[in-house]
Structure 1
Amino acid sequence: GTGARGRRRTTGLRHQRREAELNPPADRDVFEGIVDALRELEREEPGDVLVFLSGEREIRDAEEAIRGSLAGRNRDDTEVLPLYGRLSARDQHRVFERRRAPGIRRRVVLATNVAETSLTVPGIAYVIDTGLARISRYSTRSKVQRLPIEPVSRASANQRSGRSGRTRPGIAIRLYGEDDFESRPEFTDPEILRTNLASVLLQMISLGLGAIDDFPFLTPPDPRGVRDGVELLRELGAIGPSTGRPAQGDGGARPPRLTRIGRELARLPIEPRYARMVLAGRAEGVARETVIIVAGLTVQDLRERPLEHRQHADELHARFKDPTSDFLGLLKLWYYLEELGDELSSSALRRRMKAEYLNFVRWREWQDLVRQLREVTRPLGIDTSRREGGAADPDAVHRALLTGLLSHLGIRDELKRDYLGARGTRFRIFPGSALAKQQPDAVMAAELVETSQLFARTVARIDPAWAEAAAGDLVKRRYAEPHWERKQGQAVASETATLYGVPIVRNRRVGFAKVDPAWSRDLFIRHALVEGDWTGRYPFERRNRQLRREVAELEERTRQRGRVADDEALVEWFDERLPDDVVSQPTFDRWWREAQRERPELLDLTRADLLGDDAGPDDEGAFPREWRQGDQRLKLRYKFDPYAPDDGVTATVPLPLLARLDPVGFDWGVPGMRAELVAALLKSLPKATRRNFVPAADWARRLLALVDDRDGGTTPVGGFRPDRGEAVPGPLTEVLHGHLQREGGIRFDAAEFDWEKVPSHLRMRFRVVGDDGRELGAGDDLEALQQRLKRASEASLAKATSMAAALQDAGIAPEAGRRQRRGRGRGGDTPSPSAPAAAPAPAADSPAPVAEQRDLDAWPLDELPASFDLRQRGGVIRAYPTLKLADPAHPGRSRIDLALATTADDQAREHPRAVAALLARSVPTPAGYVQAHLTAAEKLSLAASPYRSTEALLADVLAALARDALPAEPVRTRAGFEALRDRFNAGLVDAMFDAVKLVAQVLQAHREATVAIKDANALAHLGSLADAKAQLAALVHDGFVSRTGIERLRQLPRYLRAVTHRIERLGQNAALERAGSIEMEQMLALYREAGGELPSAPDAPAGLVRARWLLEELRVSLFAQQLGTAEPVSPKRLRKAIAELD
């Protein structure tokens, strides 16, 4: 070592503490003990002092404590010198210089255990031993290498004491008791027993030292430890497969090969788990955070919990808890102490940490480790500097940490209320963790500690799927539920991935072809080629689909199963033609591009492939595809599925034509099923009547062959064709009833036929569709459908009015639009949504269509008809001429149009407000006169309104007055409008004066409420203040006068005073305010769910408008009850009003 080796001299040994004393915390007594020992040595002969400390940070703190003690006693004859490995050469040389500065009588050298054996410091007469050192030690509990500060062995303590007797007799003072010394181990554990074998193995492989079993250790490691070390290195991705031949011994193989990750791990002098985290931190962009956490995991926890102050300590430490991660809690603690250290001196920081139950010495130890890690990782290009632009992504931090903790994963087991860990272990989260009460679905832990049971310490909530990429080949996969996926065009399965038995991925969909090609091929043929459930579009597929549809319709119409080849036969057919490697749509696409060039017909089915030699009957007359009634044509669809609701024959009815259909005729059914239908009707008769007509099938044939007298005796019952538009003699049951009475000679009531007993496939079914082809209703009772869809049918019929007006304005004859393209939907029975409807034509005996007009400034016509009719597809379309505002929110300045409403409801809603707007514009406005005669206070109030100007406000008042003047009956004639205008004009000035005064009161109340809100700015009331502001904005806004209406406007001052009252009493009853706020939030949510807005939309239904004002009355009831309400109101009443909205 450096320095002179002196002879061994007599050494006096002193123990500073007696064993009866309790060991106080190190950050309270170690430095004070050093100062006390130095004072004690001042009574001895002059000589230099060597103080043994555990690390660089402790040396700095001791130096500060000693200098503070010397300064307080005006002692300037002592020089304090640090000595540690990272000290610069110049500073180290100062320790070994024999010359002293003038006036220096004593030197105090503060050293780590580097001065224990490696160095001899000249002039040392005294030694002060703290008895502590930083010792590298592998923890079998946490499976990580740690660098804890711990008591030294007796041999090391004696070695330290001996340093005082190297050059002269001296004294050694131990800052611990004699019993403490005797209780220590005799020697420090050998390195091989203090080191994680993974680290040893990694370095041996990196240095090429051969198999560990052949290495001549003085203390051979446990073979099980060797295997564990190899498994850990494999888990970390540090080693790959062995490249040499097998060797003799326990290992059974030559050293594995280092991967790129392994080579980098070998360059980091820290435990491989932590090194792996640091490397992953670089990849994730969170190296700084990872290094801080790794160092924090290595040192002992800074947070102390003295028994007598445990609750207080926990309350203070709760600041550093993160509800999702104990690791992030470490980061919070670091950032807090780092910021505190920038603000305080070391002494002040020590006092502050002591007050907050944080260990100062361990904090310094943590900082030292972080600094050292930053230095050793810098050559690997790992940037640990402060980041710019915000905090790190917590997920990225956890992903980096997870790479070193793959065997410390756990998945929550709800039944056993614990976690399933690696290799079947089970553990619980340690109660002291921030996540102990949350019990996340998946966690990772820094260590697993077994006491009364296995506990996970320092845990974080994670996504277990993160482990898949880091674990690589360690992941085991299992597949279940293989099935066909149309979008991907292949068979997929549910994959479960496990790591050491822990499920990290559950039920993930993956391609199944690589797992089981044969099964995937079968699913592809069955679903894609046979069922057509894929995105492939090929000519052969289109031809096959059309052919299969045609032959399948035979079974549906004739209700004869088994005539067409089933799916299994088709699977075999395709299987014979496809090569074995076609297992999915992508592989099929590649193969078929080449195969079709040689045999384009290879995959074309033929009629013989599907039917064999039995083509069977196909009577289009017996099973028509279309039903005609008058000038209407309805598509018929056949289905043979006794368990389906649409089994049998279904007529597709466009909604506009529904109202025009006559049930008579449909009850006769299609000719091919009529004999079965008649037999079923006979069987539906009561037994006393039915027994006269057996067997029913024979009677049915007989009845159908009879000539109906009402047809002039020329057409048999079975020969009527209502499906072709032919008239039938009446309802089928009445016709059968007449023949049966004549042929059977008995009398019975026709009502005895029971249609409910007739099989559903024999009763004509109706499917009503909208303009887009979507089903709106279905059933076999046509009259019930017509009643149920009456409103929808009327609305649909009204949609064509705009087309009729456009054609009329353009001078186009209605016939020009009658030709239409017919589209085929799925099954070919519905019009294509893109197919245009036939152009409407005026109906007979209907008022002439009214053309739309824009931007009216006078009444448009002598008489505005309430409605007029148009014809389209045999149906009647009714239009409702109405005046309409282009901008209902601002009637005073909105454009007024003559439009065609689709329903009477639209007309009733739009017409009155547009008439009111036209009325306001038809009279001279008294706004200027009224404004000139307002009081100063009223002018001031109006000037502060939300309107863009006072003129705009007065125009809105005029619009509101006009709306208030409308009669109950709608105005539809020019004469009626002019009479209304004259009446309105006569009393307009007085009415406006009254209205403006009312508006001024509203604005004054609004101003008072606004001032009250500004004055009440306490943070505790932010929610209530925000609610009040929103209420004011909904009550008083640009256009509020006409939107509110004169009648309701009279209530606004009370609503606004209620706001002021509420704000002024915010601090008087917090519970009442909170309860009221919660109630209002619920009511507002219900109102908005029902479609309500604040303020109400101009075209809002009357029910929503009523609910909107009930909300205001409820506010008065909750927050200013003494002001009273205009009507009884409560949350229950309001809920009922909202629930009753249509």
Structure 2
Amino acid sequence: MVKAPPDHSPMVVDSQDLSSSTIMNPITSPNQLPIHSMRKKIIQTVFSNDCCIFLGETGCGKTTQIPRFLYEAREKKFKNLLNKKSQRNKNLIACTQPRRVAAISVAERVASEVNQNCGELIGYSVRFDEAISRRTKIKYMTDGMLLREALLDPYLRQYSIIILDEAHERTLHTDLLFGIVKQALEYRKKSQKNSLHVLVMSATMNVDLFSNYFNQAPVLYLQGRQYPIDVFHVQETQTDYIHASLITLFQIHRTTPLNEGILIFLTGQDEIDSICKTIKQIVASGTESLEPIIPLPLYANMTTVKQMLVFKQTPENIRKVIVSTNIGETSITIPGIRHVIDCGRVKTKTYNPQTGLEILQVQKISQAQAWQRTGRAGRECPGTCYRMYPEEEFEQLPSTPIPELLRCNLATAALQILAMGITNISTFDFLSKPDEKSIAAALRELTYLCAIQPSNDNTYELTDDGRKMACFPLDPKLSRCLLASSGLNCLEEMLKLVSIMSVDTIFLTSSNINEKMKMQRQKFTMNEGDHLTLLNVYKTFISNKKTKEWCQINKINRRNLLRACAIRKQLRRICIELQLNIKSCGTKYSLVRQALAQGLFMNVAEYLKENDYRTINDRHIVKIHPSSVLFGAKPSVVVFTELIQTTKRFIRDITVVEPDWLIESNPEYFKTRLSSK
């Protein structure tokens, strides 16, 4: 490996420690953090301006301490006002995070600093989970949850201070929040009631872009700290970055003290689960007399309890190895990490507005993401980062990632914007405006889904179904599936299915399917396709009382199924509020397939020849993914959930449908597209 030259100093890109306070003691006393020397300046800047931009170096304590500074200063000044009953549950301070693990762990950390349980003064709110009460005044939340609240109140009147943290990540929800919060700020300033202060924070971002967007908002730089990090690159391009990461891991393990933790970045759950299993097997084999290792996975589709395990202190003489997706890049700090192994890849979705298809594929990261990952190693002491790509390749990477808003399907965003009463999407104040083709494609999709209808002068309005669809925290396609199933008397089945589609794979080691596992899964196989097979697994899981033993025997991921059960409860509650027809179709699964056809109609493929299918939208040639129960079968028409680009294009999560169902549900869309009609 080649050591990076001295001028490759890492960008500082994260917030203060986010370790789980319920599991371990804080690393640093709050009063020792660098940000305390700027407390007065921070308070003065925030309360003297409608909006301000804070660029805070790593380790300064901005995420954990600034909400406290502002709450305590406001409490002292307006104590009598805040004690009034009329102010209860108002004047909240919101601090958004791009990811749920960050929102939860920060809230628990800050709650411990004030010697309270999480959910009292300090709380959190994430999708399908929250810890808040009437006493809560500081609420850490995912940006998606604040966006959901904006649907009910676009002016966010229960908040007096809104902190948009990790602004540099430019997620879809964060970019939408910029426009919504800016609108709320202007409205509440004009109304001269319940004033609002907005704070945009990051460790690395284009401050001029954000300052100009928020009407020349002042910028304050916060000093932090960063220990030196040695950066190494491989000399040649690695064709197998997983194997290269594994080799590097054991090189580090053999030559460094066991108390130095290792963080490995990979692209997804399948890769992570597979490498964790391999690490355990290599250590357990005893062939090399290796010291013990505890490999811990970290990705989005895990229960909160499982995610929090990465913050737990490891017993003496055991190495902690965290294997994470890009969820570990920012917002969280894992105690004890001294070494980072960066595969240089990330799994992202890209959208083609001309075809209407999203493709999930592994791509190279940006330089900013590379430095984000590097910075994980220098939080508590000097560290080392090993990059599984040559230095020349790093120099060719783009400087920053493309904002999600500019590379994703805008249907969800457009539905949310329209639900807030903004009838012309093109006039929404985007920080980075999407091109008109993407906006037009989103509006076209929502029109086909019967969620919106054109009004006057390029404006649109929600239909009755559209208002209902906006209430679900789902892709509009899946919301349409739920509404369609209500009319077809199969909503109970669709709730289970949509919930299981909202989590990652439920089958263990699905990245390495062998003949024995295929035989094991045949007991669940439904000839009509993957969706009904998933539904069958869910029902059997429930009938077997959700036991660990049943999951182990059948190679089923229990934690993902339990999460699906929790999601179903939340979705069912929304269905009850919307007074939908919640009935079961029993075993009349053709009704479920019809409902899927109504929601996934833009994801249709027709059989062409041999093993090839052709999507009706872009006429591209695709194949059924080997993991599908329909692999090797040749149904004439199918709907699919996902299109994956590897060496070939595959469609995954597939169901057989009848052409007549498609034509009946959306005749205008299919009259010129479907050759099987």
TM-score (structure 1 length as normaliser): 0.31
- Name the one with the larger strand percent: 2
Higher relative contact order at CA 8 Å, sep ≥6: structure 1 or structure 2? 2
- Name the one with the larger helix percent: 1
Rg larger for: 1
